[in-house]
Amino acid sequence: MVTALFEFCILVCLLFSTFATAFPSTRSVISTQRKFISQSFPSSKVSSITQVKNPKWTSKQVSTLDVYAAPFLKHRIPLPKDLATAIENRPSARDLGKMSPLERRANGQTVSGSNGQFVFPVRVGTPGQTLYLIFDTGSGDFWVWSWQMPRSLLQNHRASGYYNASLSSTAVQFTGQSFNIGYASGSVYGNVWLDTVYVDGDGVQIGVGDQPVECAQNVGGSFSSLPAVDGIMGLNTWVYDQESPNPQQTWLDFILSPGHLAAQVFTVALVRDGVGTMDFGYIDTNKYTGSIAYAPVRTVPNAPATGYWSFFWSGFAIGSRAYNTTSIPVLTDTGTNVVLLPQSIIKKYYADVAGAYQQSDGSWCFPCKSILPPFTFGIGQVKVVVPSKSFIFAELGLDKVNCYGALQATSESQFALFGTPFMNALFVVHDYGGNRLGFATRTKT
């Protein structure tokens, strides 16, 4: 799963323009036959992929209104009334600059955004061009910044932080293929090339030859303001991506096809403000304690899209309050930076937080010194506890006294959304072959 909005909150769809630093190969193909390549230790069919701290990342202040709106816009979830009103009536940057500190506080606080601080390195082409990507379980496409983007965007991006097919001896244009990924108010679009892609891990390098690489020719909104993030690796449950006219098998579905890795599974063990891992092909028993509680992946009624790693929890509890047995659909997403829960649950939660209050857009804040209760959700008969240290999003930038909550409200009739505050706190198993999700308590990091 920010500087202006989070990674999927696209504000505008920019007009098409192209800038080429060199002319790529004119070779092209009209079909692809991918090759699985693994460079590994003898008989190793597993891989642990470790994040790196992005060397080009810098912290910037982000509006809390944008923080709250981002998951709604990314997933096309209807906005709560107060949030929709706040977006419609938000003052311009020029008007904010004329306001007193008290007026600015009333019209929206800011927090320090951390999106893109920790990323996964991926090598594309021959020789390999290293790109820093967000691995996102809430989307399915693999796309990157490319040499074809406008000069103005490339100049503001990190040096060499984009793919250039002309520098790769294995690059071939995928004739007639294009992509256009639509978000709530914009898109990312471009053409498609085939090339060798390596994701380097401990034990095995997962390589795919003739992998479709969606090469952006323009991006809008948050992506244009994330100069240190070079693209997205989608890891949702889709079998096919959003290429046109012929959707292609996703990277994840291909590498987890039978016979490629030891098991059709990957796990997520992320760390708040630190280096996390994703393991492909196995479950590392050193990364969790106790047992793993599994829930089948189920389609969520009225969900805004398909492909989610989604399940139904069997109940919840706030702190030491009584456990409520209730079935609620839950979407999970490593590319979203807050947790959304139904309004009635959020109101009960913050009723137990001393000094908690709502901003005009409906989002929740609280004194940073307040004690937060843990949150428990059920997987069948198992109760999974998420520690409260995960529920502080960040200190508010204007007053330095209050904090912005990582738990926020969605409409009562909608589903819950588990973003990184929950994912950072738990060991999460994505059993692709078994079509199920597993949760366990993380080993202390």
Residues known to be catalytic: 136, 333
Q: Are the C-beta atoms of 257 and 323 separated by less than 8 Å?
A: no
Element (H, E) at 315: strand 309-318
Query: Closest Cα partner for 115 from 185, 60, 48?
Result: 60
Beta strand 375-379 with 364-367 is: unpaired
CA distance 195 to 34: 10
Query: Closest Cα partner for 391 from 330, 316, 337, 445?
Result: 337
Q: What is the DSSP letter of 15?
A: P
Query: Closest Cα partner for 170 from 208, 204, 218, 226?
Result: 208
Query: Closest Cα partner for 310 from 333, 326, 337?
Result: 333
CA distance 292 to 374: 19
CA distance 314 to 383: 9
**φ, ψ at 129 (rounded to 5°):** -105, 115
Instruction: Using the CB atoms, write b or e for 179-196: b if 16+ within 10 Å.
Output: bebebbebbbbbbbbbbb
Give the contacts of 444 (CB within 8 A, at least 6 positions apart).
Answer: none
Helices (H) and strands (E) in the chain, counts: 8, 30
Query: Closest Cα partner for 9 from 90, 158, 97, 115?
Result: 115
Give the contacts of 324 (CB within 8 A, at least 6 positions apart).
Answer: 315, 316, 317
Element (H, E) at 243: strand 243-244
